[in-house]
């Protein structure tokens, strides 16, 4: 180990200087956390007190107006004079105004005092931020120094190599989980927006269907106008919903069966011309088929949203667990490297050649696998009815039917249709996250 010892002595000055400066700034971590927590606490308290102060000011102004009215000719003062309670009423109003003013004054003084404390906490946080940045820079320099020292010599120190491999592996998983967590949260937001828009679209289509008529000889211009207006709104809303669905599929392309999240394919609203040339019976049939297609899409959307939410819970658990493991592994790695370098500089380091390969830790987080595309939803073909037929699906139609006529339900769709039919899709049940798992429950 002559070459390694020579490398240690070449970097001895830098090693001791960095460790000495880091030890001098050890207080920064705890002080930085305390200052940040105190600043956040005071920010919330001052914000609440400011709202209370605004309410007290309104009460004080009201009491002042009541007192002023008692000193002038007003309905209240005349009534008090006629009942012989002028002095008592005036004294009561004066006392209420005085009490309100005192409460406002006390609250204002408290706000002023806590605002000063908040300013001091902010200044302390800013001062510790400088020291925090300094110690982080020193730690990065020390990590780089360790990498230079152990470059090419990892095999001679089995424990150091094992910890280094574990740290690299866990840190990569941690960063991947953090990126996926952001992606899935954005996807959840887009799906929730699309879900709300799809509900509005179905409401507009229900309105249009109620205004439509089979009898082409009993047309009413007002009813036709209301029908076409509702269909136009439904078309606009459906296109907005599709934009959010496209954004969600872009954020998380691993969503199972992304082709089923489509409100454009088979949607007669997109290319329909809303004028009197369209035959009434065809119009009703198209509204009915489009309504059913959108309802099936809504069910698929609910299932996809449920899958995304469960995956978010899984990633959050892995991210939290990995964060703790990364911190603990990094601490152990730094301690082992410090021991090796210190003993090497003192000449007490023994030769610990590697007698076995380090075991690679099992993965704690695995990203989702790529999804398998399926054909988009196709509109069902049903005979003409005098009501809208809703598939008996999981889509929440209670919010759609609120304030609208009752809707009849058709026979339920098959629970597991082949993918080519474009009907409801089935997602595999997803187990909830459990700590210390080494397998991705979503992996197929």
Choose the weakest-confidence range: 165-169, 223-227, 289-293, 380-384. Answer: 380-384
Q: What is the pLDDT of residues 306-315, one digit of tens each?
A: 999 999 999 9
Determine the pLDDT at residue 382.
45
Which of 35-49, 78-92, 168-182 has the lowest average pLDDT? Answer: 78-92
- pLDDT digit string, tens, across residues 313-327: 999 999 999 999 999
> Does residue 345 contact residue 8 with C-beta atoms inside 8 Å?
yes
Cβ neighbours, 10 Å, residue 346? 8
The rounded distance, in Å, linking the Cα atoms of 301 and 93 is 61
For 119-123, 244-248, 346-350, 438-442, which range has the lowest pLDDT when averaged over its residues?
Answer: 438-442
Angle between helices 280-346 and 2-10 (to 10 degrees): 100
pLDDT of residue 435: 39
Residue 40 above 90 pLDDT? yes
* Average pLDDT value over all residues in the chain: 77
Q: How far from each other are the two terminal CA atoms of the chain, in whole angstroms?
A: 48
Check whether 353 has a pLDDT greater than 90.
Answer: no
Q: Which residues pair with 390 in a beta bridge?
A: 409
Query: What confidence tier does 287 reach under pLDDT thresholds 50, 70, 90?
Result: confident
Task: Give the C-alpha separation, 425 to 407, whole Å.
Answer: 24
Of the candidates 208, 209, 197, 205, the one whose C-alpha atom is nearest the C-alpha of residue 261 is 197
Task: Name the residue with higher pLDDT: 270 or 431.
Answer: 270
pLDDT at 403 (0 to 100): 36
- Residue predicted with more confidence, 244 or 389: 244
pLDDT band at 361 (very low <50, low <70, confident <90, very high): low
Q: What pLDDT was estimated at residue 222?
A: 74
Contacts of 401 (CB under 8 A, 6+ apart): 206, 407
pLDDT at 18 over 80: yes
User: Which SS3 state, helix, strand or coil, does residue 218 take?
Assistant: coil
What's residue 289's pLDDT?
83
In the chain, CATH 1.20.1330 sits at: 167-421
Residue 2 burial by Cβ neighbours in a 10 Å radius (0-12, 13-18, 19+): exposed
Residue 238 clears pLDDT 80, i.e. is over it: yes
> Pick the residue with more confidence: 18 or 377?
18
pLDDT at 352: 54
Q: Is pLDDT of 376 > 60?
A: no
Residue 29 has pLDDT above 80, yes or no: yes
Q: Give me the pLDDT at residue 419, please.
A: 34
Asked whether the predicted pLDDT for residue 95 surpasses 80, the reply is yes
Condensed to tens digits (0 to 9), the pLDDT of residues 394-440 reads 444 444 333 333 323 233 333 333 333 344 444 444 434 333 444 44
Structure tokens at 328: 């603990």
Domain covering 167-421 in this structure, CATH number = 1.20.1330
CATH 1.10.287 in the chain is located at: 2-142
Q: Is the alpha carbon torsion for 174, 180, 184, 187 positive or negative?
A: positive
- In this predicted structure, what is the pLDDT of residue 153? 80
Q: How confident is the model at residue 79, as a pLDDT?
A: 58
**pLDDT higher than threshold 70 for residue 281:** no
Does the pLDDT value for residue 144 go beyond 60?
yes
**The predicted structure's pLDDT at residue 437:** 42
Choice between 379 and 122, residue whose per-residue pLDDT is larger: 122
Q: Is the pLDDT of residue 295 over 70?
A: yes
- Predicted pLDDT of residue 436: 41
Question: Greater confidence, 259 or 23?
Answer: 23
Q: Mean of the pLDDT values across residues 182-200?
A: 94
Q: Mean pLDDT check: name the lowest of 25-29, 150-154, 294-298, 334-338.
A: 150-154
Q: What is the CA radius of gyration of the chain?
A: 35
CATH of domain 2-142: 1.10.287
**DSSP for 28-51?**
HHHHHHHHHHHHHHHHHHHHHHHH
């Amino acid at each position: 180990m002559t070459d390694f010892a020579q490398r240690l002595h070449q970097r001895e000055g830098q090693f001791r200087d960095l460790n000495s400066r880091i030890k001098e700034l050890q207080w920064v971590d705890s002080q930085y956390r305390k200052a940040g927590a105190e600043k956040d606490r005071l920010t919330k308290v001052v914000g609440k007190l400011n709202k209370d102060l605004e309410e007290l000011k309104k009460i004080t102004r009201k009491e002042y107006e009541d007192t002023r009215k008692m000193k002038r000719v007003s309905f209240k003062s005349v009534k008090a004079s006629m009942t012989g309670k002028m002095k008592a009423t005036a004294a009561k109003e004066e006392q209420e105004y005085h009490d309100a003013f005192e409460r406002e004054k006390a609250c204002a003084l408290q706000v002023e005092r806590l605002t000063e404390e908040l300013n001091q906490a902010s200044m302390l946080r800013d001062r510790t931020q400088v020291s925090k940045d300094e110690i982080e820079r020193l730690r990065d320099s020390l990590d780089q120094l360790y990498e230079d020292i152990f470059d090419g010599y990892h095999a001679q120190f089995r424990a150091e190599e094992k910890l280094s491999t574990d740290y690299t592996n866990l840190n990569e998983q941690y960063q991947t989980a953090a990126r996926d967590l952001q992606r899935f949260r954005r996807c959840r937001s887009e799906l929730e927006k699309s879900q709300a828009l799809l509900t509005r679209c179905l409401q507009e289509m229900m309105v249009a269907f109620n205004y439509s008529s089979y009898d082409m000889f009993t047309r009413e211009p007002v009813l036709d106008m209301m029908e076409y207006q509702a269909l136009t709104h439904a078309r606009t809303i459906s296109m907005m919903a599709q934009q959010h669905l496209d954004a969600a599929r872009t954020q998380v392309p691993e969503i199972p069966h992304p082709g089923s999240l489509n409100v454009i394919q088979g949607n007669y609203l997109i290319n329909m011309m809303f004028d009197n040339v369209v035959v009434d019976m065809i119009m009703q049939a198209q509204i009915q088929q489009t309504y059913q297609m959108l309802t099936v899409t809504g069910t698929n959307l609910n299932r996809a949203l449920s899958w995304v939410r469960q995956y978010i819970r899984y990633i959050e658990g892995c991210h939290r667990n990995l964060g703790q493991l990364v911190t603990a592994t990094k601490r152990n790695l730094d301690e082992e490297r410090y021991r090796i370098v210190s003993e090497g500089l003192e000449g007490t380091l023994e030769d610990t050649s590697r007698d076995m390969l380090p075991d690679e830790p099992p993965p704690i987080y695995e990203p989702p696998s790529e999804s398998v595309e399926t054909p988009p939803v196709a509109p069902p073909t049903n005979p003409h009815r005098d009501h809208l037929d809703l598939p008996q699906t999981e889509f929440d139609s209670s919010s759609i039917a609120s304030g609208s006529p009752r809707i009849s339900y058709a026979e339920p769709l098959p629970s597991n249709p082949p993918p080519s039919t474009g009907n409801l899709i089935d997602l595999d049940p997803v187990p909830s996250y459990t700590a210390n798992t080494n397998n991705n429950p979503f992996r197929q």
